[in-house]
Structure 1
C-alpha cells in the first residue's frame, strides 16, 4: 500500500503543482500585457507640459495632455525609460514573489497529496490487515468496513459476501467429511464385530452362512456408499462431455427399470412424458432421474403412489409417504441428511440421493427444489435449460 500511496502522492502533487505553474504563467501574462500601459499612465502626469510650470503638471489628467499639450522630446524619452525600468522592476518582483509562493505551494501540495492518498487508501489497509488474519479457524469474522458509500465500501461488502459463501462451503465440506467418516466407519465396525464375535468359537456351518451373508450385505452397502460419494464428487466437478439427451426417454427408461422395485413395495407409479431435449451428460442425467424416482419409492409406504412428470418445464416427482416438516426440506439436499433417523435397515440408502440430484442439476445449469406435501411425502422438481 505504501507504493500505491507514493504513486497517488506523485499524481496528486504533480497535478496541484502543474495547476500552480499554469496559474502563475497566466497571471504573469495578464500583468505583463497591461503593466507598461498602466505605468505610463501613472508616470506621464509627473512630467510638466511645454509652456507650463512643473508645479501644475501633477494636477493635469493624462488624457487631457494628449489633446491640449505636447511633451518635449527630452521628457518623452525620460518617460519611456522610467516606464520601462518601473515595469521591468515590477515584473521581476512579481516573478520573485511568484517563485517563492510556488515553492511553498509545491511543498504544501505534496504534503496535502500524501495526506489525501493516506485517507483514500485507509480502507484498503483495513481490508488487507483483516484479510491477513483470516484463516480456517476464524472464517466467521467479517470486514464490516465502516465507510461512506463508494467503490471501496462496495469492495469490502463484496469481500464479506465472498467470505459468507466460503464459510458455508467449508462448513458443508467439514460436515460432509465427518458424516462420510461416520457412514464408512459403521459398516466396518459391523464387519469387524461379525468376524470377531460370530466366528470366535467353533462356528457351525449355519452360523458361518449367516455371518457370510451379513458381511456380504455390509460390503454391498459400503460399495453403494462409495459409489455415491464418487458420483457426488464427479458431478461437483461439472460436465466433461455434452450431448443432446432426450430427457423424456430417460425418464421412461428409469421408471421401467424400477418397476419391479415398485411392484415389490406395492407402490403405483404414474408416468407422464412430453418430448424434451437437454444438452448434458447422459450418464449423469440418468443418475439424476434414477435417484429421484428411487428416493420416492424408498421413502414411501406400502400401497402408496409415485407420479413422474417429464416435460418442457423439467422433471417433477411426487410421492406419498410420511409427513415432512417444511423447514426440514432444504436440509434434505445436504449429504447424509434424512427426514428420519437412520435405522441401518436393508435398502435404507446412504442419504446421498437428493444431494447428488442437486449437484447434477447445478452442473447442467439447472436447479433442484422440493416442497413437503400437506398429506405427506415430497414433491421434488428439477429445472434444466431446454434445448429443442
Structure 2
C-alpha cells in the first residue's frame, strides 16, 4: 500500500501521488487527467496543469515521467495557482525533445537551457530529480545532472505549488514524492525549552529517552512560539491500543479555562472490523471534528511519522508519508478554530487526552512557509 521504505519515511519523504487516485491534486477540467497503471496520465484537451493544493518551499522532488514521441510536458515547481508566464509565475522543468528556444528536457523554461543528450519522449520511463533550495535549482534526468540555475532576480519565487503539465501528446507521471527541506527542531531531545505546560492540566509531562512523554490527562504542552503557514513533521507513539491524543495548531494561547482552542491533528489508530479505510475515531491524521483520515496508516505501539502542512485555509496531512487528509476550511473566520476559520499564527500543542493517555513524541521539526507572492 505504501511504496515508501522505512528509511524514506524517517528522512521525511511524502507521497504526492498514492498510485490509485488524484487525491491532493486539482486539474484543468478540460484535460483528461486520470490514473492508469499506477501513473497519472493525460492525452486529450488543451494545454494545462494538474496542481497540488498546497505549497512547498525548499525541497527535493523525485518522479518518473513518460512521453510519447514528439510529446511536450513539464514539471512545474513553486508555481502560482494560475500561471501565465513561466518566467515569473513558476519554474517549469521542461519535458521535450524539441523546443523553438532550445529548452529541452530538464531545462528551466525562460531561465536556463539544458541538453540531456538523449531522447526523453520515447515511450520509456525516465527518472527526474529536482532540488529547490533558496534560489538555487538543480535538475537531473536518469541520474545525469542536466541543469543548474540560480535565480538572481529580486522577485524570485520562494514557494509555490507542484504541477504536472500536459502540453501535447501522451504524458504520464508516477512515483511522485517530495522531501521538504529547511526545517528546524522544536524539541531538543533533552528538556522542554521552548515549550510550556498549559495551566490546570492533569497530565504528567517529562522527557524520557529523548522523547516527550505524556501520561494521564487532560493536559497540554504548547510551544512558546506561534506559527501561521508551515510544514511540521513529528513522530508519535502510543503505548497502549487505541489511545487518543493529538497535535493542536494555530491555537490560541492555552488557559486553564480554555486550554486547547485550535485545529487538531488527531492521533488514534483504531479502525472498524479490520478495515483501515474505516477509522473508528476519525483516524490518525484527521482534522478532528472537520474531516476524517481516509485511511488509518499507523499502528499502535510503534513510532509513526506524521506530517501537517497548513497553507492558508488549505490543510494537508500525511501519516508514514501517505496522504490521508486534504481539506479546505471554508467556514466564517473566527479567532477560535473550534468555531471558524483561523488564518492567524497560533501555538502548537501536544495533547494528553484523558487518564489512559500514555504517549511519546520526538523529532518535532518545522519549516515555515513564506508569504505567497
Does the pair score TM above 0.5?
A: no
Q: Which has the higher contact order (CA 8 A, sep 6+)?
A: 2
- Greater strand share, structure number: 2
Normalised by the size of structure 2, how large is the TM-score? 0.22
- Greater helix share, structure number: 1
Normalised by the size of structure 1, how large is the TM-score? 0.21
